[in-house]
Amino acid sequence: MADMERQAQGQKTQDSEVLEAETKHFKDLEFQQLERESHHDEEKETNTQHLLREITDYQLSTVTREGRLVTLKMQADLITQQAQREKDSFLKERTNLQMMLQRVCTHGVCVCVRLCV
């Protein structure tokens, strides 16, 4: 009977050691899985932050460029208006010169001048 008890005790000890080893192995695997998940979450957060920074940069760039476009359009409008004023002024001056030339020609002092119209 003592022999059977020793065998049973030996089997219990062996089973206990196997259970302990398997438990340790399971805990190690579980810890590794948690580390992988944590690393994955950190990577995901880093990527998200990077994308958010890029979005912010693009939005700022867009606003800056839109502002520049508005400024350029205003400048183009001013240049167009100035060009129109100068054109009108030159046309008025040409008309005045033509009228002066006609007056001179009608008073008998006509100089042969050909106008480019």
Sketch the domain layout of the chain as residue ranges.
1-106
What does the DSSP assignment read for 45-100? HHHHHHHHHHHHHHHHHHHHHHHHHHHHHHHHHHHHHHHHHHHHHHHHHHHHHHHH
Q: What is the pLDDT of residues 60-112, one digit of tens each?
A: 999 999 999 999 999 999 999 999 999 999 999 999 999 988 888 776 655 55
Q: What is the pLDDT of residues 6-27, one digit of tens each?
A: 888 888 899 899 999 999 999 9
In sequence order, the 6+-apart residues with CB closer than 8 A to the CB of 104 are: 110, 111
